[in-house]
Structure 1
């Protein structure tokens, strides 16, 4: 949590620049209000995903090709304008934004954002979780998206509610909330790409793959989730489905199994779920038979679910409440990073 009022007026803007450099991709910042800069920010750590809310005086954010070569965390950022206005300039487009608009940026593309005094809620998602080819990334970055209807509204409502009152959530909820955010962003990207007029066939195919992956994540708990049921839900043949995954790093079935095992592994290490039987966790993530789950788990991780849970919980007890260089947002169970 950061409030400029806690810093001497002459140091506020420099501190703000340093703060953003620690929590986001490096940028050049300019402001006509640098002599007495006003800003506040809360950053919520949701595992691989970061959500933040901020309000700040008029300024210009600039990310140059040189900065990208020096440091690129490879993330997409989606920002909801709550008040004020902004204008974004990319190589391929220039767009103005008003309240209740979402704008999308990429740390891998040069950009310049001009903002008036703005209040915003934003999410940063690693590109690895939303693998878009370069030509598709250019289609979503800078695209104007309304937060008053459709997929944009769903994402905006979730982010607004989460940042308005994070108190009911525990630290262990962070990764799960991050998964929900990732699914909403993936669905929004698929909607944007599908809406483009006269898209080439390969773009439709990639968009379909993105939508199928989102569907798989939402139905991991269903033991009947198979290539056949996935294909039927998307009105394609199983052969077409397998062709879509030909360029992925795993077959459809292997991709499902990996996501299920990753989800179960997170739950096994979660202190809040220590009393939940292992077979119940396995069933929750689509493994109705305990023996199948144990065998798949050992193959993937070289240990049993029981041993992994024991080691994870023992490590958690040993570390206690240590949080390294982290603060807790006032009244919040989630972690706010400074």
Structure 2
């Protein structure tokens, strides 16, 4: 028998009763004792089954002992399936179409790897859900396809394909996921039991999947999920621990406070940024032009931005793309073609603009303009 229980935010969750539910709980508990696997928490949720003879209280949730790949359609079947794998979240579809998805999980020692794909949706780990769960896990979410926005600990980051973020299940967090130009997104989630050394300062910070150590780790985690090698026991536990050490090490620079500039440097930086904002439409805006306008050398200008962990060219490009994004989402430019918006923001070549916009935001300018009307 299945009882329908009210959930946060108006969503519904299930509680299964009866002998079959008891057998499922006993099997899940034996698997948890034998393998000591944590449960991954991508943007999916449900309350797990309880035994007929169990006392009422927090429902039993994942993990499954190496659950098979399963695809389903419908909000309730999707939540029912994913509740066997993950911790509880409130899930809200972001489209009017059917909610369909697929999940696959496997273990590498004490690390659980999960691949999830579905359609646009929001998932919230509410304060109540976090308080009700005594377990605490560190998780990494890596976007394989689509785009995502993650919030936790007062911070927010946006992820594109290959990028990843670290977060913890003991505190509230939010995932917003979109397929971007495609109909579905795909997310890789890695889950570890929370070690004492993990700091909240590391959460909700974008780690670039294309360059440096963070890029190497992005490819390593993706390859690990796709590998057919079975790594268990002590070797698997060591691999899991070392991978978490590498991830937290890579996240460290993003959380490290930046040394503030001197008073003179701060004034120059403010003036340069204001100049850039006023001249974004100029396609010839480059480090040489900016330096000349402020009577400093190009080397001085580069050193000024290096103190902010930034480059001049990357800053200008970022501001141009942000200006274009704002115009595409605003009412004033609704009637302008995308190519005109691009020119107004310093991109004379619409093809170059389209590639840059898609690389930054995971979708084409036209697709973004269409989605902003729906609140994404």
Structure 1 length as normaliser, TM-score?
0.50
Alignment counterpart, residue 168 of structure 2, candidates 80, 83, 106 = 106
Q: How does 1:281-300 map to 2 (within 5 A)?
A: none
Q: Does the aligned pair in 2 maintain the 1:155–1:181 contact within 8 Å?
A: no
Indicate the residue corresponding to 2:76 in structure 1.
14
Match of residue 241, structure 2, among 182, 195, 200 = 182
1:146 to 196, 208, 213: 208
User: What secondary structure does 1:120 align onto?
Assistant: strand
**Structure 1 residues 199 and 109, CA, compared in 2 at 3 Å: closer, same or farther?**
farther
Q: Deviations over 1:266-297 (max 9, x none)?
A: xxxxxxxxxxxxxxxxxxxxxxxxxxxxxxxx
CA contact (8 A) 1:29 1:60 kept: yes
Choose from 130, 155, 169 the match for 1:93.
Answer: 155
1:79 counterpart residue number:
141
Deviation per residue, 1:45-65 (Å, 9 max, x gap): 223210111211111110011
2:250 to 163, 187, 191: 191
Residue pair 1:21, 1:27 contacting (<8 A) in 2 also: no
Q: Distance in 2 between matches of 1:184 and 1:175?
A: 14
Q: Which residue does the alignment assign to 1:115? A: 177
Structure 1 pair 66/107, CA: closer, same or farther in 2 (3 Å)? Answer: same
What is the alpha-carbon distance in structure 1 between the residues aligned to residue 145 and residue 161 of structure 2?
Answer: 5
Q: How does 1:127-276 map to 2 (within 5 A)?
A: 127-128=194-195, 131-132=196-197, 137-166=199-228, 169-170=229-230, 173=232, 176-194=235-253, 196-198=255-257
- Alpha-carbon distance change, 18 to 148 in structure 1, aligned in 2, over 3 angstroms: same
The residue number in structure 2 matching 1:3 is 70
Conserved in 2, the CA contact under 8 Å of 1:79 and 1:104? yes
Give the Å deviation of 1:178: 4.3
Asked whether the equivalents of residues 25 and 73 of structure 1 are also in contact (C-alpha less than 8 Å), the reply is no
Identify if the C-alpha distance between structure 1 residues 17 and 175 changes in structure 2 by more than 3 Å, giving closer, same or farther: farther
- Offset at residue 25 of structure 1 (A): 1.6
**Residues 173, 60 of structure 1: CA spacing in aligned structure 2 closer, same or farther, 3 A cutoff?**
same
Question: Per residue, is there more helix in 1 or in 2?
Answer: 1
Which stretch shifts more, 154-163 or 109-118? 154-163
Taking the aligned partners of 1:199 and 1:121, their CA distance within structure 2 comes to: 31
Runs of at least 5 residues in structure 2 that lack an aligned partner in the other structure: 1-67, 180-184, 260-376
Q: Quick one: distance in 1 between partners of 2:170 and 2:187?
A: 22
The alignment yields a C-alpha RMSD, in angstroms, of 2.4
Post-superposition offset of 1:110: 0.6
> 2: CA distance between counterparts of 1:34 and 1:176?
46
Q: Which has the higher contact order (CA 8 A, sep 6+)?
A: 1
Partner of 1:59: 121
CA distance in structure 1 between the aligned counterparts of 2:158 and 2:254, rounded to whole angstroms:
20
Larger radius of gyration: 2
Is the 8 Å Cα contact of residues 72 and 107 (structure 1) preserved in structure 2?
Answer: no
Contact 2:156 2:205 in 1 (8 A): no
Structure 1 position 77, deviation (Å)? 0.8
Q: Hey, what's the Cα distance between the residues in 2 that align with 1:188 and 1:115?
A: 22
Contact 2:152–2:167 at 8 Å: present in 1 too? no
Judged with a 3 Å threshold, the aligned counterparts in structure 2 of structure 1 residues 63 and 57 are, in CA distance, closer, same or farther, namely same
Query: What is the CA distance between 1:181 and its match in structure 2?
Result: 3.3
Q: Counterparts of 2:107 and 2:92 in 1: how far apart (Å)?
A: 27
Q: 1:174 to 1:57 in 2, by over 3 A?
A: farther
1:146 match: secondary structure:
coil
Q: Secondary structure in 2 aligned to 1:125?
A: strand
Distance in 1 separating the partners of 2:212 and 2:232 = 26
Size of the aligned set, in residue pairs, is 187
TM superposition score normalised by structure 2: 0.46
> SS where residue 19 of structure 1 aligns?
helix
